[in-house]
């Protein structure tokens, strides 16, 4: 009974992360100039806006993929692994931007959020894999 509650709790967290990722990616895509300005890039050129739009749409797609995994888990749960990696890479890239003073220090909140989400997803995947190997 306890294992079922823990599983349900983790699956709910996966869905929440997915929904927040969809909202973030979609919001950034729709309001890319505002999002860039908030991060400290006040006058982006067209190439920067296009690249940011592409990245935002990829974030949106990762969120949609994670949502489908959270609502209907697959047999091997690879989506958890790759979305966790994506979140950690995003956190690392943003952190480098803050350290190099390309991005505002306010972006550190996003770094922490993405890093924690990435760690959670990877730990959830590792726990799932370990459960398969002991069964």
- Output the CA angle 124-75-6, nearest 5 degrees: 35
Task: Encode pLDDT of 59-99 as tens digits.
Answer: 999 999 999 999 998 888 999 999 999 999 999 999 999 99
pLDDT of residue 132: 75
What pLDDT is recorded for position 2? Answer: 47
Tell me the pLDDT tens digit for each residue of 20-69: 999 999 999 999 999 999 999 989 999 999 999 999 999 999 999 999 99
Q: How far is CA 11 from the centre of its chain?
A: 15
pTM: 0.89
Domain boundaries, position 71: 2-134
| Number of domains comprising the chain | 1
What are the φ and ψ backbone dihedral angles of 103, each rounded to 5 degrees? -115, 155
């Amino acid at each position: 009974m306890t294992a079922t509650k823990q599983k349900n709790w983790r699956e709910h967290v996966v869905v929440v992360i997915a929904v927040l990722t969809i909202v973030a990616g979609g919001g950034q895509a729709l309001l890319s100039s505002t999002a860039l300005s908030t991060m400290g890039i006040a006058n982006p050129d067209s190439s920067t806006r296009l690249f940011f739009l592409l990245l935002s749409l990829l974030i949106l797609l990762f969120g949609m993929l994670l949502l489908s995994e959270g609502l209907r888990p697959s047999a091997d749960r690879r989506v958890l692994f790759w979305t966790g990696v994506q979140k950690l890479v995003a956190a690392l890239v943003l952190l480098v931007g803050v350290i190099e003073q390309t991005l505002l220090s306010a972006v550190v909140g996003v770094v922490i959020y993405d890093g924690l989400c990435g760690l959670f997803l990877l730990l959830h995947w590792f726990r799932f894999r370990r459960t398969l190997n002991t069964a």
